[in-house]
Structure 1
Amino acid sequence: MTPSSTSNTAQLRQNVRHLGEILGQVIQSQGDAGLFEAVEAIRLQSKQSRDDDDQEALRALLTQLNEKQILDVARAFSHFLNLANIAEQHHTLADYSQSLFSATASLESAFQQLLKDHEHNCLNTVLKNLSIDLVLTAHPTEITRRTLIHKHGEINDCLTRLEILNDKAAASSKDHSRLKELISQIWHTEEFRSDRPKPIDEARWAFAVIENSLWDAVPQFLRVVDDICERYALPIPPPNWSPIRISSWIGGDRDGNPNVTAKVTREVLLLAQWQACTLLENDIVTLYEELSVTTASTALEEATEGALEPYRFLLKPLRDRLQGQRLNIEKALNDQSLAPAPLTLSEIVDPLEACYESLQAVNLDVLARGYLLDTLRRVHCFGPYLIQLDIRQESARHTQAIAELTEALALGDYRDWNEGQRCDWLRGELDNPRPLIPAGWKPTPETQEVIDTFLVIAETPQSALGSYVISMAAEASDVLAVQVLLKATGCTTNMLVAPLFETLDDLESAPRVVEELLSDNAYRDRCDHQIMVMIGYSDSAKDAGMLAAGWAQYRAQESLLSVCKKFAVKLQLFHGRGGSIGRGGAPAHDALLSQPPGSLENGLRVTEQGEMIRTKLGLTPLAVIL
């Protein structure tokens, strides 16, 4: 199965054909009597119908099938398409496709394009300002079972090994037999979950993607950047350069999902810390084994009291600290007991940076820029919290909470006030030093849940959280209401509060709403002269169709940029897109080029949506190039 040198798609076609033949053999030997013949007849007639532009013969074949046969035929074609997708994904990652699809090829092309229009030193500025925030979401839900995802990954590995062999050796290899075994397992496995996943299950699944793919993909991608910088005579980025951030909505997005409660959010945050401790502990164990070096800088020798193995002297307490933290978090999760205080970034980074600086000082750069550099870059990307969790809630829930408060304070029903009255009162409360929530207040269960969520935010380190997203935001009061609730529950009021403009009407009014917010000096000071605005893609497409919605999104972004420039405020646009075309999905490169000029100046923040996370980020080499 040696790749063809004349056609870059020859190997792809061969792999698809090979996997299809094995699937056919499995169906013929293990399926119901006549199933293979029915599938083959439908396959051949489909091709003929396409060529003849006549569907009648195909329709006649399909109408002869009973319900059981229809299901089995559909499963057969579904599995074939899955296998074809695996072959195509493998083709993208194969060595013979590197000149087309690799991260090196993409960055090389981008740098060459930049050099056509800009000076050489511009590239360094571009890299310094690079900021990519991938926000993992659970919706639309990934329905493929993890056992099948694992088997699909093994098929990809088999194809990789088979391509090293010639055709004769491949036909008799153990990987050829393994492919038959895997496809047979797949045919006899239920494709979909029987139970709806809980938010905790979804969070565990996302953390597994980080563990199995992104944990290695991030430093691998940054090494590609290092190589490109060296090629273009640019400064190599330092270890603390962290252009990639991983955020999440899973366990924080309660809009329309009553199963995401304050208790769930607290547990997901703790699970994320546990996962971070586990992964970092593994890295430190590896470093401890590798850094048996005795040569060290004077500064490190003094800091380690002249220890024979100074690097291990520094790493052992860190390893033990991570292990102890992991065990304490496990106990808190299992016993529902008080969680330990979170680790800080400096607790992890400081000993690693001391090792790095010492190795460089004694001319052991080859060790400094080995596994140690990868570990430092992981720490700066994922930190002690693994992800930054966004909180999302629908604006009406905040309105209800404020209304119950104003009624308890004998001020009337907030919902009856006009927009001007609402904003005036909310701004007054933000400046008022007295507590807002009265003693003994008993809100409705729905509002208590809103308050409990803010209390979770208050007890969580700010660096473990991303932004507070308000869905169905329509007015300035929707943003101010969240800031008032943050203040009332002891949270910091400079947490980024991002209005999500989803419908066509909301997109058109977005510039007016943001201008009303920014015209207030106190608001600009609270948000530290920066604002995040989220653009929704699916609801606007439902409202007006994809073309009209796309134009409305573009115009809204242009106007928002103009408003923020007027008030000297940095605008971070957050794109809620991905997956199907109707949800804003598109090739990433084309999507970026289609944005208004200046809209990416403060970085790219975009959702990676449920079912697409595995497709785009599920394998380390795939995540590196995408």
Structure 2
Amino acid sequence: MSHVFQDAVVTKYTIFNSLFLSLPYPGIFQTGSLLPLLTQQSEEGFQQGKSPRQIIEGFFSELLEDATPKERVDLLFAFIQYIERQVVLFDSVEDAAFDQTHDLSGKGSVPFLIERLDTPELRQKMLDKLQDFCVRIVLTAHPTQFYPGKVLGIIHDLEDAIRVNDFSEVNRLLLQLGKTGFTNENKPTPYDEAVSLCWFLENVYYEAIPSILLKLIDTLNMSVHEWPYPQIFRLGFWPGGDRDGNPFVSAETTLQVADRLRETLLRAYYRDIRNLKRRLTFRGVEDTIAQAERKMNSTIFGPEEEGYSSAGELIGELLGAREVLVDKHQGLFVEMLDEFILKLRLFGFFFASLDVRQDSRKHTKAWKDILTRLERKIPLLKYSDYTSWDEDKKIDLLLSLNIPLRDEDYEDPQTKDILGSIRSICTIQKRNGEDGAHRYVISNSQSALNIMEVLAIAKNLIADEEGLLPLDIVPLFETVDDLANAGGVMKKLYENTYYRNHLNYRGNHQTIMVGFSDGTKDGGYLRANWSIYRAKEELTRISREYGIKVTFFDGRGGPPGRGGGNNHNFYASLGKDIEDKEIQLTVQGQTISSNYGTVSTAMFNLERLFTAGLENHLFSPSRQEEQLTEEDKALLEELAEAAYHSYLDLKNHPVFVKYLEKKTPLRFYGQTNIGSRPTKRGNDGEGLKFEDLRAIPFVGSWAQMKQNVPGFYGFGSAIDQLTKEGKGEAIKKLYQKSLFFRTLVENSMQSLSKAFFPATEYLRQEEDYLAFWDKMYDEFVCTNQQLLKISGQKELLDSNQVTKESIKIRERIVLPLITIQQYALQMLADDPATLPVDPEKYSKLVVRAMFGIINAARNSA
């Protein structure tokens, strides 16, 4: 362990953790004193092969033999509450030490990049690249954030107090944590989710993004006033727009969220204007700033006609004031004014662009409604005939229709919402500017028809008099088969005259989204990652062939099993055959709070994404050794295919779905009240089917079981199989040579490091699950061994000591939590009539334990 991490994090955590024992809460001293003993008994018990039930019952019989069943369960709940707050404390200590444990000016930072631009040609090459380069971070509402907003606020303040060693304030905040609930009594609405994420926009991104730009401009010795590339960072937003599988998102919600984004931003602008007013007190300038204050107040609170209609209007007024400031007042405080104008150019009046997303099958269903209604007016057009046509004929019909589409003409609420959601995009654009909402994402895209169905609806709803649509349609390809077919789908679109004309109007720019979550669920870790890489290569080739600028939008989750892990290494590793004009990715839940929860962490991670996106373009000649050759790609294809078959063998095991449904916390996800979206698709009255599983509860359940199957399964057996075929040395060379492959390996190592199979070894005692558990464990051992062998590391994550040590400490903090949760699951497997307390108590233990386990892992759901 590095001395810095030991001193700045571990020692500090130990000191502040001792404060818990002195908090004036009933029973806390006993809880805090007994908890280390439970941790010790859990460690020793699992080493001896004991089950969680044996460990918990042994703990009580040894230390609290006379405790009643109710007192025992109450103490377990007290342990859970205590550990939840220990996790918060460790998060805060680690984040407070971030600038000590991470080299903020090292590899991946803006200064490090600029230092390497050691010729005028390289510098110009980067500036040319910035003309159409962008990093777009899209915040999503996927339910992986187990801290409610009120706790996030305490964490923010706690981190500040820890940074300056303010023991008194830390103690008060720990007191506040003790009285603040960590759970939501009710599910949040989509609007609640949006409000929660607006906190990060206002308190983190609003400061972090301009700070990075100012650092870049300063390092390049350029002028903020003359900086021509404000678009290199953009924010996207899904809460309130993403209705895929979320029946609670409506067109009204979408409009409310767009208004909230605008209001949040304008209030931040208003504060900045008031700060400017305190400094720009000079003749010829102060009147303009005072007018800006009045008009911004009207823009926010009304009357709106007395406010600003756009950011451009405000910028124009401020530029006039700037001229006076420079000409008459020696440019005093001009840097403050320039920074504010930079924010206006960055965020406009929209803050974050609100995407709309819906499943392709919903659009097909809507067209059934539309065409069936049309059939009543035009009997010759029969929907039954339409369903038998080939794809080209269907597309021709949909594009030829010029029909009014009114909500009141349809009974199906889904059809009404699709029409309303597209209209809401138009409304938002009029109010917030076109950047406020201009993308419609189609999940489960399987054909060109899926894209044309949306285009044809939009054509009849929001096209202008010339038939032009201010809308980018974004297909999302995610499953293994859909990724393989993506090239053919886009080729057909590019060859369609109407679609090509639409793209021409949109600057010959096509955004394509590729998703990791369902790809991993469908085909396993290695197959999903490699399928996405190959799909991007093919889509790049086809797009270039047709003269289209393609942008890839990555649906990445927190853990490696959902495309998470080290994102900047992933982007830096992409070769010349994958378009790199922009970096776009989703961030969500814990990834937002852990990677972008403070200005420092946000700047660190955003800078590394920014520089990763420039690496291949600027320095590719010196990195030819890292480019994948055809032989390398063939080897990766063999590995991916072998891993895929290994994963399919597990997925097709007769107890796979039964295991998830009966033995994991999957069935409890709906009780956590962390997200507005239902936890599974399909009819609740039916038995669970694999296709109904949502990616987040799917991956999260494996994380709760400390098995993390989606993040590694098949990787080890694939390497082992190819090694036996004489390709072991080639795989080792690939690891040394390819950053892409190293990133896959080291992200998978994170999943392995957070796994702990002894916690569930008791399942081997059940005949139904013995073989299944052994199968998972054997692959875990195999993958562990094979990844160490090809990487040359002695222990997992030796190449990243800070991450390695952080994981070790976090896993030890939550070990009692894991024991308690598995104990409760064991008890629930018994006959309810024989249980010492109400079964509902054990269910609540399972749910409450979920929060701390997920929060400690930071990227496990």
Which of the five TM-score ranges fits, normalised by the shorter chain?
0.7 to 0.9
Aligned counterparts, 1:130-529, within 5 A:
130-162=133-165, 175-230=166-221, 238-239=226-227, 241-242=229-230, 243-293=232-282, 309-328=283-302, 343-361=309-327, 364-365=330-331, 367-369=333-335, 371-410=336-375, 411-413=381-383, 414-429=386-401, 434-437=402-405, 441-461=409-429, 462-491=434-463, 492-528=468-504, 529=508
- What's the CA shift string for 1:116-159, capped at 9, x where partnerless? 99734323334444311111111124231222212212221112
Partner of 2:848: none
Check whether the contact 1:504–1:543 (CA below 8 A) recurs between aligned residues: yes
The one of the two structures with greater contact order (alpha-carbon pairs below 8 A, sep at least 6) is 2
Q: Distance in 1 between matches of 2:52 and 2:119?
A: 54
* Superimposed CA distance per residue, residues 65-91 of structure 1 (whole angstroms, 9 cap, x where no aligned partner): 432222222333332233222211111
* Conserved 8 A contact 1:262-1:449: yes
Q: 1:584 to 1:568 in 2, by over 3 A?
A: same
SS at match of 1:435: coil
Measure how far apart 1:471 and its partner are: 0.8
Q: 1:477: Cα distance to partner?
A: 0.9
Give the CA deviation at 1:360.
4.3
The amino acid that maps onto 1:556 is: A
Contact kept? 2:138, 2:235, Cα under 8 Å: yes
SS in 1 for 2:442: strand
| Counterpart among 27, 48, 51 of residue 31 in structure 1 | 27
The C-alpha deviation readout for 1:483-505, integer Å capped at 9, x for no partner, is 11111112452411000112111
CA distance in 1, matches of 2:121, 2:408: 64
Instruction: Note the alpha carbon deviations across 1:327-371, whole angstroms, 9 max, x for none.
Output: 1389xxxxxxxx9998223112111222334444568456222x2
Secondary structure of the residue aligned to 1:133 is strand
SS in 2 for 1:192: coil
Per the alignment, do residues 6 and 252 of structure 1 end up closer, same or farther by CA in structure 2, a change over 3 Å counting? closer
1:89 corresponds to 2:65: no
2 CA distance for matches of 1:266 and 1:101? Answer: 39
Q: Once structures 1 and 2 are overlaid, which stretch shifts more, 254-263 or 138-147? A: 138-147
* Contact 2:295–2:306 (CA under 8 A) maintained in structure 1: no
Contact 2:32 2:82 in 1 (8 A): no
Instruction: Name the counterpart of 1:563.
Output: 542
The answer (yes or no) to whether the contact 1:16–1:84 under 8 Å persists in 2 is yes
Pairs aligned (count): 574
Q: Is the 8 A contact 1:111 1:123 kept in 2?
A: no
Query: Which deviations, in whole Å up to 9, do the C-alpha atoms of 1:165-202 show, x marking residues without a partner?
Result: xxxxxxxxxx2122222223323332111111111111
The offset of 1:212, in angstroms, is 1.5
Q: Is the Cα–Cα contact under 8 Å of residues 239 and 373 in structure 1 kept in the other structure?
A: no
- 2-structure distance, mates of 1:398, 1:351: 45
Q: Distance in 1 between matches of 2:45 and 2:453?
A: 60
1:160 and 1:32 map into 2 onto residues whose CA distance is 26
Q: Which runs of 5+ in 2 are unaligned?
A: 61-71, 376-380, 606-861
Secondary structure in structure 1 of the residue aligned to 2:229: coil
Instruction: Tell me, yes or no, if the aligned pair for 1:132 and 1:603 is still in contact at 8 Å.
Output: yes
Structure 1 SS opposite 2:302:
helix
Q: TM-score, normalised by structure 2?
A: 0.62
Is the 8 Å Cα contact of residues 274 and 329 (structure 1) preserved in structure 2? no
Quote the offset at 1:6 in angstroms. 6.7
Give the secondary-structure state (helix, strand or coil) at the position aligned to 1:310: coil
**Structure 1 residue matching 2:174: 3-state secondary structure:** helix
- Give the one of 122, 125, 131 matched to 2:125: 122
1:463 maps to amino acid: D
**Separation of aligned partners in 1, 2:86 and 2:326:** 53
Distance 1:548 1:118, change over 3 A: farther
Residues 4, 101 of structure 2: 8 Å contact kept:
no
Out of 72, 88, 105, the position equivalent to 2:78 is 72
Gaps of 5+ in 1: 163-174, 294-308, 331-338
- For the Cα contact (< 8 Å) 2:369–2:410, is it kept in 1? no
Q: Which moved more, 1:254-263 or 1:578-587?
A: 578-587
CA distance, structure 2, for counterparts of residue 435 and residue 11 of structure 1: 66
Cα drift, residue 457 of structure 1: 2.0
CA contact (8 A) 1:45 1:58 kept: no
CA shift at 1:535, angstroms?
0.4
* Partners of 1:291 and 1:312 within 8 A in 2: yes
CA pair 259-158 structure 1, distance change in 2 beyond 3 A: same
Q: CA deviation at 1:60?
A: 4.6
In the alignment, which residue of structure 2 is the partner of 1:610? 589
3-state SS, counterpart of residue 450 of structure 2: helix
Matched residue, 1:170: none
Q: CA deviation at 1:613?
A: 1.7
Q: Could you tell me which residue of structure 1 aligns to residue 787 of structure 2?
A: none
| 1:136–1:607 contact (8 Å) kept in structure 2 | yes
Please tell me the residue identity of whatever aligns with 2:400: G
Local SS of the residue matching 2:511: strand
Give the 3-state SS of the residue equivalent to 2:564 in structure 1: coil
Instruction: Give distance in 2, aligned partners of 1:240 and 1:187.
Output: 50
Q: 2-side partners of 1:55 and 1:18: how far apart? A: 33
CA–CA distance in 1 between the matches of 2:270 and 2:537?
Answer: 46
Matched, 1:10 2:7: yes
Q: 2-side partners of 1:47 and 1:614: how far apart? A: 30
CA distance in 1, matches of 2:516, 2:225: 35
Structure 1: how far apart are the matches of 2:307 and 2:459? 23
Deviation (angstroms), 1:220 = 1.4
2-structure distance, mates of 1:199, 1:450 = 17
State the superposition RMSD in angstroms. Answer: 3.0
Alpha carbons of structure 1 residues 195 and 354: separation in structure 2 relative to 1, 3 Å: same
The percent of aligned pairs where both chains have the same amino acid is 23
Q: Report which stretch shifted further, 520-529 or 38-47.
A: 38-47
SS of 1:606's equivalent?
A: strand
Aligned residue number for residue 169 of structure 1: none
Deviation, 1:418, is 3.1
Q: Is the 8 A contact 1:247 1:466 kept in 2?
A: no
- Residues 206 and 364 of structure 1, relative CA distance in 2, 3 Å threshold: farther
